Structure 1
């Protein structure tokens, strides 16, 4: 007797034609990571442009913040975090729109690319900003003169804002707009599937439970 098949056991033509090999999935994840990481160049340039400059002053012996409260340095960290959050949302939207059924490889590529892009933006902004050598900057400005300090990311936890927001945004998009119905529910069942679920001809049939059915009494004689 042939074992009946369930819908999950039925091969789907869609799966055979559009399935991706592990190598293709890895390649897809690497492409996503590279594309997202390149966005770090734009984030780094924006950070350099928008972050407030930190005024500093030297007394000839040491270098001090011209503003003792250090609001500019805090604002620089906040600017980087906000830019990272915006980049995370944009990256998640782009990956979800392009690869709605991308799978785990695309998600991992988004996370890795976001982290690399965040580090790239940080290093690019620091590299293109004022010189990191405070002593040289103070000597060039002169004693008692206010000069522009280097661009520094003091709260390095801000590097995690971009990848964190990207993953949360992608998760939210998948939950709200991702595919819900399994693909097999949209596929017609093959003709032989219904025949395999029928009992074989000539085989035993269950007794009828109609009004004329008779059942032997417990312990009574069998006719």
Structure 2
């Protein structure tokens, strides 16, 4: 039983972690470009003032919220199906795996997007003269958005678990190998004797 819980938790953690780089690539592709003014020695100022600098954080936050909703829904359905089939309670193991995987995936998505953009924006800023306007490098200013994926996934997962608990369709746990039917609360039934005999 413990081995199944470790496998389920590890599968949830790994599945969400590997989603991080593709989401970072998608963020880099969808985030709107923003213009900044080079001051000196590679330093930039947010001028002209543009809402696109903040829209990049918004794109990342929306993507993390959507990822949390989808992963929480799919994660709970998958663990419920496997729990019913194996008669093992995997809810906590999968929840911990989802939480850790979402946190790691969010960090990987952030770093992937920033790294991809730095390869393009970095040289342009370095070669620009003071006063030139160039495209700003992709940054995540609202670091609190890193927890959105995990937060929403846990909420979605908990909501489905509460509904399942209310409906009473939680998976029944399998009995331990050494547990006898009488110990589990099921009375043992002795075979009926032959007619006309006295049981010993």
Task: Give the equivalent residue in structure 2 for 1:8.
Answer: none
Question: How far, CA to CA, are the matches of 2:125 and 2:186 in structure 1?
Answer: 80
- Structure number with larger C-alpha Rg: 1
1:163 to 112, 129, 150: 150
Query: Closer, same or farther in 2 for the Cα pair 1:60/1:141, shift >3 Å?
Result: same
Residue 188 (structure 2) pairs with residue 192 (structure 1) = yes
- CA drift of 1:139 comes to 4.0
- CA drift of 1:77 comes to 0.9
After the TM superposition, which residues 1-223 of structure 1 pair with which residues of structure 2 at under 5 Å, given as runs? 20=1, 22-60=2-40, 63-68=44-49, 70-100=50-80, 101=83, 102-131=90-119, 136-177=123-164, 180-181=168-169, 183=172, 190-192=186-188
Question: How far, CA to CA, are the matches of 1:84 and 1:59 in structure 2?
Answer: 33
Give the aligned CA root-mean-square deviation in angstroms.
2.6
Question: How far, CA to CA, are the matches of 1:143 and 1:44 in structure 2?
Answer: 31
SS of residue matched to 2:19: helix
Query: Closer, same or farther in 2 for the Cα pair 1:177/1:24, shift >3 Å?
Result: closer
Query: Closer, same or farther in 2 for the Cα pair 1:71/1:97, shift >3 Å?
Result: same
Question: How far, CA to CA, are the matches of 1:163 and 1:139 in structure 2?
Answer: 36
Question: How far, CA to CA, are the matches of 1:23 and 1:57 in structure 2?
Answer: 56
Structure 1 gap segments, 5+ residues each: 1-19, 194-223
Give the number of aligned pairs.
168
Query: Closer, same or farther in 2 for the Cα pair 1:181/1:128, shift >3 Å?
Result: closer
- CA drift of 1:191 comes to 4.9
Query: Closer, same or farther in 2 for the Cα pair 1:63/1:173, shift >3 Å?
Result: same
- CA drift of 1:115 comes to 0.4
